[in-house]
Chain A
């Protein structure tokens, strides 16, 4: 059976994920060392140790994401995060930065290393490079590949692969995007935040509701309709004409979320080792429902049964679902 890797932004969500059937939970420390450094989220050192003990007692693993890029002159914060994760009994750390990988491989030779999606290793050569150079055992694939390309990668590498199957969808190669810092000064790579809430402004103007990020208008909806969170790449923009026809709309990506449930059998056939659910910023109730549904789907795939349908329709409510880059037409 493929391993189901589930998000936990809080200790309560970790417990909920384990109870719902997660094989592994990923989470991070409450600071800039992880790529979901959101207000009110993540784990203190004590909470991490307790969470790992809780998961281990129930047969689940904990993977600690330390997947931002250490700030020059302050790598100590990131080195301590790796050391503390190892001391707390983490089953693996999820890293993106080459310098940090080199440090972890040298200082913690027994620690299992996973390559974060933030490293955007998008082909077999890159993956083999990380595996051979740092002993990386698993790579989380960037969301730019088709199922056929994933299968081809697995034929060319012994490194385990993990892919996203549900939740928010980055349309850019992860870890290689500065859109957020261009608009706000804070970026996923440096600060662990994208389109940070601290720079979000909701206001009503001329009978419409506006959501701005760093002063840039990202969404405008008529009064009474819901305003989406102003995630930059999901915004509504206009490309003025000139040589061409002017275009207005979701120029980068529609406000959709990823649901690759139907592709689970194909991903298993493609040699994927683990399926990942996005959403460390989501509530424990959401985590529990999604994990439960995907555990059932993974078990069905393992026994050749058809994928259960419509189980998550309510959670993508108001949002269309997409299979993203896994289908070639998305590009």
Chain B
């Protein structure tokens, strides 16, 4: 088992993006997925960083793929998607519709916002050329195990959401803009103020969700750490880490040590690294996604 780093979910400026990938090149991860995953309006602000980021990861011996948007609607977005397939790098589709642009026989990866819930879909994707599939975060362990087995039979590496606020929903509406009484078309890029997303609590003060432009994430940091052994036994080939603010290299190292079977109890290390965060593994444990299972300790 190894580590994949997913695309940056949040609106980071070019300097932050550059620093992130420079650091990631030194981190113990096997591959990275780069690209604007959430909102095409953000892309012009940081797309100049993409070639350098690809090069930094490739020179460090890591695999690289480019990500599509999660929700592709506009003509401009469709063109951008088509352009991705022309780069020669593997493309990770985040929207099933992106397959329309796939050149015949070209290999591709599948991200966690594509609905791969069963063997039929996984096998169909494999026949189309899928090489890696990161499963939707809401899948329970029982489904993960079956899909990992199906992936092994079909020659597809199956990944599981390993660390980060889980992507829960995508919308045509921008909630960040709405929080500022603006429409999406006049958003003034307010999502850039919140590099880990904007917190949403219940009226009685319980932390609940995170708003990130048109995307909604969980508030708790979803972690697969308590399930590493079970995932390995099931044949899962990688954990996906989602970029966040802070010392990402140290975070990746926690997961790398867990994959190597290290002691002490890695959840304690994770808590030490992110003392403000609350953690959840409910999806894998077959509970509500926001919950933390007893196995997590």
Q: Residues on A close to B: CB < 8 A?
A: 69-73, 75, 96-100, 102-103, 119-129, 142-145, 149, 152, 171-173, 175-179, 181-185, 187, 189-190, 214, 216-218, 220, 233, 236-240, 242-244, 247-248, 251-253, 325, 328-331
Contact = CB atoms under 8 A, between A and B. Distances in A.
A185 B118 CA distance: 18
A98 B126 CA distance: 12
Interface in B46-79: 70-75, 77-78
A238 B136 contact: no
A194 B205 CA distance: 23
Nearest to B81: A125
Contacts of A152: 75
Interface in B249-297: 282-283, 286-290
B26 interface: no
Interface of B: 70-75, 77-78, 95-97, 99-101, 113, 115, 117-125, 136-139, 142-143, 146-147, 150, 166, 168-175, 177-180, 183-185, 190, 193-194, 198-206, 208-209, 211, 216, 218, 282-283, 286-290
A181 B202 CA distance: 17
Contacts of B199: 239-240, 242
- Report which residue of A102, A152, A252 has the largest number of chain B beta carbons within 10 angstroms of its beta carbon: A252
A145 B75 CA distance: 13
A25 B181 CA distance: 39
Contacts of B77: 123
A217 B206 contact: yes
Given A72-B146, A121-B97, A171-B171, A99 B218 contact: no
Contact of B288 (A69, A70, A183, A243): A183
A183 B72 CA distance: 27
B71 A173 contact: yes
A149 B76 CA distance: 13
A70 B201 contact: no
A120 B185 contact: no
Contacts of A69: 115, 117-118, 121
25 contacts: A72-B147, A75-B118, A97-B120, A97-B121, A98-B96, A98-B121, A99-B120, A120-B71, A122-B73, A122-B95, A129-B99, A145-B172, A171-B173, A173-B171, A175-B115, A176-B71, A181-B138, A182-B283, A183-B289, A185-B282, A190-B139, A218-B202, A233-B169, A240-B201, A242-B194
B200 A176 contact: no
A176 B136 CA distance: 10
Contacts of A233: 169
Contact of B118 (A71, A122, A218): A71
Contact of B170 (A143, A173, A244): A173
A187 B119 CA distance: 19
A144 B143 contact: no
Contact of B290 (A97, A127, A182): A182
Interface of B, helix, strand, loop or mixed by DSSP:
mixed
Contact of A125 (B101, B117, B184, B198): B101
- Report which residue of B174, B199, B286, B288 has the largest number of chain A beta carbons within 10 angstroms of its beta carbon: B288
A248 B203 CA distance: 8
A118 B17 CA distance: 34
Given A69-B117, A125-B78, A126-B96, A244 B143 contact: no
Given A70-B118, A122-B95, A182-B166, 8 more contacts: A69-B117, A73-B146, A120-B71, A129-B96, A178-B169, A238-B205, A240-B201, A330-B183
Contact of B124 (A98, A145, A176, A237): A98
B176 to A, nearest CB: 10
Nearest to A99: B120
A122 B283 contact: no
B175 to A, nearest CB: 6
B286 to A, nearest CB: 7
A236 B203 contact: yes
Contacts of A75: 118-120
A125 B218 CA distance: 30
Nearest to B290: A182
Q: Which 10 A-B pairs have the closest CB atoms?
A: A99-B120, A126-B97, A144-B172, A99-B121, A69-B117, A331-B184, A182-B289, A72-B146, A172-B169, A125-B100
A244 B283 contact: no
Contacts of B118: 69-73, 75, 97, 99
Nearest to B201: A238
A181 B193 contact: no
Contacts of B138: 178, 181-182, 187, 189-190
Contact of B209 (A97, A145, A237): A237
A140 to B, nearest CB: 15
